[in-house]
Amino acid sequence: MSDPVTIGIAALVVLVALIAIRMPIGYAMIIVGGGGIALVNGPALLLSQLKTLAYGQFSIYDLSVVPMFILMGELAVVAGLSQALFRGANAWLGWMRGGTAMAAIAGCAGFGAVCGSSLATASTMGKVALPELKRYNYSGALATGSLAAGGVLGILIPPSVVLIIYAIIVEANIVTMFAAAMLPGILAVLLFLATIAIYVAIWPDAGPKGGAVDRAEFRAASLGLLPVIGIFGLVLGGIYAGLFNPTPAAAVGVTLVWIYGALRGRVNLAAIKTALLATAANTGMIYLILLGAELMKIFMSRIGLPQQAAAWIAESGLAPMAVMVLLLLALIALGCLMDSLSMILLVIPFFWPMLVEINGGLYQGAEGSGFGMSTDDLKIWFGILALIVVELGLITPPVGMNVFVISALARDTPMIETFKGVLPFFTAEILRVVLLLGFPALTLWLPGILGG
């Protein structure tokens, strides 16, 4: 039999080839993972695994939070939360040079906190903010670039579906991961706002000042923010206060968004039906990928590829931090080829065991064993870093899904201009990664406080 590295690399090549010919990634992972198990250990073991694997995966209670938060996001789209967020943020920030673009970033952050989907955040906020940005004669690059970049905030700011999936894969506490994402999420918003301020300081004509609003409009716009702040506060505040765990919290969020939309006349039976069907489709897709990812994980574990990779790294003399940087660079590269959720489900089951091996003492670096932190802290720190670099794939070519979404809305702006517009925000994201790499406490401090 060939060595594990050869088998593993061959399997990954087949997987990438299947994805390249447009096979859904869930089916591709099931074929490669299941076929690999049957090849290495025989069909009997594969059939034995399939007998209980799907039920074992999908009956996990923590996984029930996924369809609830997806439904919450689908209802938020039709309930009009995005308009209220942008209007309120623009009332506060729009008077400054570049202020309307800053309001778009703030609106994306707020909507992402309720929706949890980057693509939905970019699409919804784009429809709301682009007309205002055009009205004030913002450059095409800054207008579309800020919206495409603002959309990536939805993947990290809690509640995030991708963050939940990562927590389930590495068996981390979902509430702890939510807490760990708070400061990095706030840091992203601040860096994006600073990026716009620097951008318009260099090119003043790119982001003219918006019109000042009168006192009555300012008051009305500010009051419009209260329901959104209330929903976000009750959902996450209830979780951190111990009133309920994430699944009931998501149910509370669904109910509150539904009430908000119903009172505004935006959520009727037709809208609820559409939201439920979209939720079922997205949840089914995620569950299928989860099954394929589990088969891939079993296959890779049985051939011992993660352990072999960790042993190779130990013999290479690379410092643990260098290994972390290389893994993050690999995630950025993969993000240019596939969507964020698929990448997390495909790569994390392979990368995580390797990091555990390194952190557990296989590697003795200059500063001692591993990363100098517990496995629990490592899964939190790595998870936040991984999600940040994964989200970069949403604004980098050739996939750049957020760029495609915004370009479809702003047909008068060439896509190359949008890619130029996201470059400063990409730089800001790289700076955030460097800060979190250099200062793990930015990620671990709040979970430590809440856990203590």
DSSP 63-74: GGHHHHHHHHHH
> Measured between alpha carbons, how far is 91 from 221 in angstroms, rounded to an integer?
7
pLDDT tier for residue 443 given thresholds of 50, 70 and 90? very high
Q: What angle do CA 277, 278, 283 make, to 5 degrees?
A: 100
Q: How far is CA 130 from the centre of its chain?
A: 23
Q: Average pLDDT for residues 63-77, to the nearest whole number?
A: 85
pLDDT digits (tens, 9 = 90+) for 210-265: 767 778 888 888 888 888 888 888 888 888 887 888 889 889 989 999 999 998 88
Q: Average pLDDT for residues 9-19, to the nearest whole number?
A: 84
Beta partners for residue 369, in sequence order: 364
> Measured between alpha carbons, how far is 83 from 23 in angstroms, rounded to an integer?
37
DSSP 8-state class, residue 212: P
DSSP-assigned letters across all residues of 296-341: HHHHHHHHTHHHHHHHHHHHHT--HHHHHHHHHHHHHHHHTTS-HH
Q: Average pLDDT for residues 36-42, to the nearest whole number?
A: 84
Q: What angle do CA 177, 183, 184 make, to 5 degrees?
A: 80
Q: Average pLDDT for residues 355-381, to the nearest whole number?
A: 72
Q: How far is CA 33 from the centre of its chain?
A: 25
The pair of three-digit structure tokens given for residue 73, joined into one six-digit string: 């996001």
Find out whether the peptide bond into 159 is cis, omega within 30 degrees of 0. yes
Q: Which amino acid is at 24?
A: P
Question: Closest Cα to residue 146, out of 384, 436, 403?
Answer: 403
> Measured between alpha carbons, how far is 104 from 76 in angstroms, rounded to an integer?
17
> Measured between alpha carbons, how far is 279 from 194 in angstroms, rounded to an integer?
36
Per-residue pLDDT at 399: 67
pLDDT digits (tens, 9 = 90+) for 197-211: 999 999 998 888 776
Where is pLDDT greater, at 184 or 40? 184
Question: Closest Cα to residue 389, out of 357, 436, 349?
Answer: 436
How far separated are the first and last CA of the chain, in Å rounded?
A: 50
Per-residue pLDDT at 197: 94
Q: How far is CA 179 from the centre of its chain?
A: 15
Per-residue pLDDT at 224: 85
User: Which of 71-80, 115-124, 360-369 is predicted with the least confidence, judged by mean pLDDT?
Assistant: 360-369
pTM of the full structure? 0.85
Question: Closest Cα to residue 248, out of 61, 391, 113, 65?
Answer: 65
Domain ranges of the chain: 63-280
Contacts of 173 (CB under 8 A, 6+ apart): 167
- Positive or negative CA dihedral for 389, 391, 395, 401? positive
pLDDT at 363 over 50: no
Residues 396 and 336 sit within 8 Å (Cβ to Cβ): yes
The pair of three-digit structure tokens given for residue 363, joined into one six-digit string: 């590697």
148 burial (CB, 10 Å; 0-12 / 13-18 / 19+) is buried
Contacts of 70 (CB under 8 A, 6+ apart): 116, 117, 161, 278, 279, 282, 283
- The H-assigned helical ranges of 203-268 are 215-240, 246-263
Question: Closest Cα to residue 116, out of 304, 298, 287, 246?
Answer: 246
Per-residue pLDDT at 368: 44
CA dist list (Å): 346 to 183, 321, 334, 342, 350: 27, 22, 10, 6, 8
The pair of three-digit structure tokens given for residue 443, joined into one six-digit string: 């990620």
Contacts of 240 (CB under 8 A, 6+ apart): 175, 179, 450
Q: What percent of the chain has pLDDT over 90?
A: 21
Per-residue pLDDT at 290: 83
The pair of three-digit structure tokens given for residue 349, joined into one six-digit string: 């089951």
Per-residue pLDDT at 362: 46
Q: Average pLDDT for residues 412-427, to the nearest whole number?
A: 90
Q: Which amino acid is at 246?
A: P
Per-residue pLDDT at 367: 44
Residues 142 and 47 sit within 8 Å (Cβ to Cβ): no
Per-residue pLDDT at 366: 39
Where is pLDDT greater, at 268 or 154? 268
Cβ atoms within 10 Å of 322's Cβ, excluding its own = 13
Contacts of 381 (CB under 8 A, 6+ apart): 180, 371, 373, 436, 440, 443, 444
Determine the number of helices (DSSP H) and then strands (DSSP E) in the chain: 20, 2
pLDDT digits (tens, 9 = 90+) for 267-309: 889 989 998 998 898 888 888 888 888 888 888 878 877 667 7
Q: To the nearest whole number, what is the mean pLDDT of the chain?
A: 84
Q: Which amino acid is at 65?
A: V
Residues 78 and 123 sit within 8 Å (Cβ to Cβ): no
